Amino acid sequence: MAVRKTYLAVIGAALLLGGCSFSSEALWPTLAGEENAGTENSAAMADTSGADATTSTDVARSSQPLTGMSQTGTFVGSKVENMQAELNRLKSALSDHSNELQQLRAQTVRNSQAYHGTVAAISARLQVGTTPGNPVLVQQWNTAQQELDRVNDDIAAMNSLANKVAADSTLSTFLLESVRSAYQVSGAVDEDHRQLALLEDETNRTTVLIDRLLNEISEGLARQTSYVSNERANLNALALAVKNGEIFGDALSKRVFQSQAAPASAGSSMASTSDRPLVVIRFDSPSVKYEQALYNAVNRVLERRPQASFDVVAVTPNRGTPAQVALNSNKSKRNAQSVLRSLTDMGMPSARVRVSDATSASVSANEVHVFVR
């Protein structure tokens, strides 16, 4: 009896080991396949990022034409054939539009890299010092503007693509409603309804992918439009730096948040801005270099108070004959307009700056005072 038990135990162990060997042989190729699939997915993800790669992969998989439909000879069967052809055309258009989006993104990256490379070259030259209005830097600035215009052209192309995908979305919605309505048509056989179910499922998947692609394009448009707007302001600030031959920094618009600016009032007096001025610019010589000091002062204020606005006051000495006072007042107002232009070139929205004029007996030359409000 003990011998029989031992014999049965040996047979059971052999069967168990054989089962383990069989299980490992059956599972190992599957695990290897999953590992290879994971490597391929990682390589695909390296080309794109995040949801973009996911959508591109899903669109690539769904772009295969729907097949396997058989002719039933019924009226509903003929409608199934027409809707199948329409769905395959829609899937092909979706694949083309997804590829076009990827190409536009790659093109935008190249254009942005070229733009930032040119801007970096200008900034590096300004940082080490150069002459005012250096023609080499002026040419580079013009090149940077052209490269930014190319990014703007990419935005226009993306907007055109958004219209195409929106048309795809409309068509997919109509096709889905047509498939669902076909269920109610009499004279169908069971095979017709089976094929309608396949069409409905595939159309639903295609509609989801179209909506996802349209959302990605909309987000990209908003992001790129904001990017170009900010870089336009940075280019304006860079143009002023090239003109003066000294680097300032990023556009002031990066510090400024949107807010409702107070309306400008003409002819305000010094009493309306009686606080201590942030900057005093004395125009006592034909050429006064004030831009760097003005930029630094305004930038420090915006770091602490992003919502701050500014008053630019043209101050005229209250001395001499009325004709001399009037002449000095005109010069002082022109100086204030120059300061306003400098601020806008640095990226400050003109709605955040209010210009006024005043006279004072305490100044000996035309001055421009900048106040924070």
Sign (positive/negative) of CA torsion 184, 187, 190, 196?
negative
User: Looking at this protein, which amino acid is placed at residue 323?
Assistant: A
d(CA 271, CA 366) in angstroms, rounded, equals: 18
Coil, strand or helix at 281: strand
- State the first-to-last Cα distance of the chain, in angstroms, to the nearest integer: 105
Question: Residue 103 is encoded by which pair of tokens?
Answer: 């190409």
Nearest to 176 by CA among 245, 90, 273: 90
Highest-confidence segment of 104-118, 261-275, 296-310 = 104-118
| pTM over 0.85, yes/no | no
Specify the long-range contacts of residues 151-154, CB closer than 8 Å, at least 24 apart: 151/108, 151/111, 151/112, 151/115, 151/224, 151/227, 151/228, 151/231, 152/228, 154/104, 154/107, 154/108, 154/111, 154/224
Q: Tell me the average pLDDT across 328-349.
A: 85
Q: At what angle do helices 135-182 and 75-128 cross, to 10 degrees?
A: 160
d(CA 301, CA 311) in angstroms, rounded, equals: 13
Reported as a single tens digit per residue, the pLDDT across 116-155 is 999 999 999 988 888 988 999 999 999 999 999 999 999 9
d(CA 315, CA 368) in angstroms, rounded, equals: 6
Superfamily of domain 275-370: OmpA-like domain (3.30.1330.60)
Reported as a single tens digit per residue, the pLDDT across 165-208 is 999 999 999 999 999 999 998 888 998 899 899 999 999 999 99
In the predicted model, is pLDDT for residue 3 greater than 70? no
- Domain-wise residue ranges, the chain: 59-64+71-248, 275-370
Question: Residue 133 is encoded by which pair of tokens?
Answer: 């209005």
| Residue 157: predicted pLDDT | 94
Q: Are 51 and 105 spatial neighbours (Cβ–Cβ below 8 Å)?
A: no
In the predicted model, is pLDDT for residue 27 greater than 70? no
In the predicted model, is pLDDT for residue 224 greater than 80? yes
| Residue 63: predicted pLDDT | 62
